[in-house]
Structure 1
Amino acid sequence: MPQDSVINPDRELLVIGIIYTVLSAIVFPVYVLIIHALHSRHDLRENISYKLINLLNYCDVSQAFCHFLTGIFLIFPVFISKVDFFVRIVGCTANTLWLATFVIMAILSTTRIGIAFFKTKPTKWSPWMIISLVIGCVYIFLVWVIGCITQNFMLTGPNWSYDMTVKFAELFADLELALCFPTLMLSFCSYILIIYSIYKKRRVSQTLSSSLRTEIGILVQATILTTYMALLITFWHNAESWFKMTNFTLAALNCVWILFSHLNSVLLIATNKGVRNQILKIFCKSERSRHTSRLAPLSHVSSAMMVETRSNV
């Protein structure tokens, strides 16, 4: 890639950069609405599962911002030549946030197990939840700090990858697999057990309670996300043996990574009525305020006309 020019002269990489930028940018307003909705409703705000989901939302929107910057780097390759250390930090941050989603999903799945089978209160943090979250946060933080210091993540063409020339990069790549697949298996097994629990509850009670609907919504969202993550990891780590490595192939894999944020937001809105209603309420309020602002001048004019009429009388 010629890195001295301002705009990328490679039309293929330029188009890929624009696609990355647009794909990433369109998800920002959606997450603003979702995060606002989860913070606005008391029942969602106090629910541990939704706190974890909101943490996942923050990770996703931050990843989207990193992907947005990736597009900028491809459009303007001067960044790679002039501030490569910053470019690598962005890549390391995106990868670390991606790893954080596995930790959050694993804690979310075990939390749902606790609620389904061990009568854990959905609004109260258990000690094991806090310990798991702290351990996960410490691990993710260390991965990020070491990655930023050693600069072990680089942008090669349209794709992010570990720089195997950097010390310990191969170790971190192996640790990534060691983290991802066990947490995915834990999530899958947890959701199978939760499905069984929901099936039993449905047999006992013919009516579908609101709490059960909430469980099903979280289950559907988490199951689809877990499946998507498993497929992405599988394709990502087997791409070289399965596909011909071209810019198109690498860009397609990266777009699948970018679209994870879109999938999470769509599923959260689609499977949760409370979130949908809260988002609709925002639009209804804005529509009502616009309607009121239109009526205000008219009412002012009509009142003025009434005063004038009375004075004439």
Structure 2
Amino acid sequence: MSVTSNLTISGSLFELTTDMELFYYGILVFVFSIFNAPILALIITTLEMKNAQSPNMAFRLMNIINVCLLGQGLGHLLTFPCLIFPNLLKTFETVVRIIGGIMNTLWICDLSMVTLLGVSRVLIFSNTISIRKSDRIIRFLLILLLSWIFILLIYSILFRNMMMYPPQWAYDFDVPFCDLFDTLEISLSFPCILISFLSYLTIAYLIFVSKNLKSSVASRRNEIAILFQSALVTAYISVMIFVWHPALFTMFQFIDMNDQTNQAILNFMWIVHCYVNPCMLLVFNKSIRGDCVRLLRTGKIDQPPRAAATSIVTLS
């Protein structure tokens, strides 16, 4: 959607919108966004403490994802007043555009890190790389992806290519090179989805079929739980991307993205996305869930037994 900046200010800065649908949606965004930061801060702190006790490449990748989700959630929280008070958007359009650009960059980083985590888990499950240190290939891919994210972040801040067009966010194609970066995002998104699904299909094969994988009943139960967690997160991201680009998929063309309600639902899916990964992590990972509870109660987590560390770390 092409969005041009022709906003003019009239009335008070905190004049309520006359569109009650936008008003109620703004309240909904606030209610759902406000809990994101505390939940993710707890999980990020827990994973950092676990990584300090027992260094693990998966923990590092998971926390990069969590930081991306935290940034996206904070972006929604900071910009929700623009839905209720439209003059705020008109007055602080530049700031809102910068926040939108950062959120979009973090979304792309989030997606690419989920894919890299899936690939690393395949290599760990197949005993190709160690869980205790970063493999050179994974480090190279991580540096490559973060370098691209850094370039995208600088571009988003300098050119401010993301525009809030209540109730949704959209690229402003009047901004230089926006078409190029939109194409690059699409070109990155679909291979990431494909690689992620192939990774978890491979993990499923290693769990259920491979005779070379030796593990205890408890370990195998954890492996299956992590597989479900990762598959559900990837599936949710896939649905978001497919619905976000209905022109590319005939099965979604029945969704009228010019309808304000549909736009609000899609943007709300983005907000919910900030909860999906941490919630799935807590639901399916008993070790991390227990450490989060202990951190809340005592301010620290327990040192895992040395013999059990491999099972816990591998599957986190």
TM-score by structure 1 length?
0.84
Moved more, 53-62 or 242-251: 242-251
Which of 263, 283, 308 lines up with 1:250 in the alignment? 263
Identity score, percent = 30
Question: Paired residue for 1:37, among 39, 46, 56?
Answer: 46
Question: What is residue 239 of structure 2 aligned with on the other side?
Answer: 231
SS at match of 1:16: helix
How far, CA to CA, are the matches of 2:50 and 2:161 in structure 1?
41
How many Å separate the matches in 1 of 2:225 and 2:105? 27
- Give the Cα separation in 2 of the matches to 1:277 and 1:110: 26
Aligned-partner residue type, residue 263 of structure 1: V
The one-character-per-residue Cα deviations of 1:143-201 (angstroms, maximum 9, x if unpaired) are 12112211211011211000111121111111111000001101111111111011135
Equivalent position of 1:309 in the other structure:
none
Residues 284 and 242 of structure 1: is their aligned pair in 2 closer, same or farther, counting only changes over 3 Å? same
Aligned residue for 1:17? 26
Q: Does 1:279 find its partner at 2:292? A: yes
Matched, 1:159 2:168: yes
Instruction: State the alpha-carbon separation in 2 of the partners of residues 213 and 53 from structure 1.
Output: 20
CA pair 223-57 structure 1, distance change in 2 beyond 3 A: same
- Counterpart in the other structure of 1:132: 141
| Preserved contact between residue 3 and residue 77 of structure 1 (Cα < 8 Å) | no
Counterpart Cα distance in 2 of 1:133 and 1:105: 11
The match for 1:74 among 56, 79, 83 is 83
**Higher gyration radius (CA):** 1
Q: Aligned with 2:133: secondary structure?
A: coil
Distance 1:45 1:58 in 2: 20
- Alignment root-mean-square deviation, CA: 2.3
Secondary structure of the corresponding residue to residue 120 of structure 1: coil
| Corresponding residue SS for 2:163 | strand
1:115 & 1:238 partners in 2: Cα distance? 36
Amino acid at match of 2:117: L
Partner SS state of residue 170, structure 2: strand
The answer to whether the 8 A contact 1:33-1:279 is kept is: yes
Which of 83, 101, 109 does residue 100 from structure 1 map onto?
109
Q: Which moved more, 1:24-33 or 1:240-249?
A: 240-249
Distance in structure 2 (CA, Å) of the matches to 1:262 and 1:282: 20
Shift of 1:38: 1.4
Structure-2 residue corresponding to 1:306: none
Alignment of 1:95-244 (within 5 A): 95-200=104-209, 207-210=216-219, 212-238=220-246, 241-244=253-256
**Contact 1:154–1:163 (CA<8 Å) still a contact in 2?**
yes
> Shift in Å at residue 77 of structure 1?
2.3
1:262 aligns with 2:262: no
Q: Secondary structure at the match of 2:217?
A: coil
- Corresponding residue of 1:303: none
Q: How many residues align?
A: 285
Match of 2:305 in 1: none
Partner of 2:4: none
The answer for unaligned runs of 5 or more in structure 1 is 287-313
Q: List alignment gaps of at least 5 residues for structure 2.
A: 1-6, 300-316
| One-letter identity of the residue aligned with 1:271 | F
Residues 17 and 83 of structure 2 are in contact (CA less than 8 Å); yes or no, is this contact kept in structure 1? no
- Please report how far the alpha carbon of residue 74 of structure 1 lies from its aligned counterpart in structure 2 after TM superposition: 1.6
C-alpha displacement at 1:39, in angstroms?
2.1
TM-score, normalising length: structure 2: 0.83
Letter in 2 for 1:154: M
Using the alignment, how far apart are the partners of 2:77 and 2:49 within structure 1? 28
Distance 1:158 1:7 in 2: 17
Deviation at 1:41, TM superposition (A): 2.7
> 2:230 corresponds to which letter in structure 1?
A
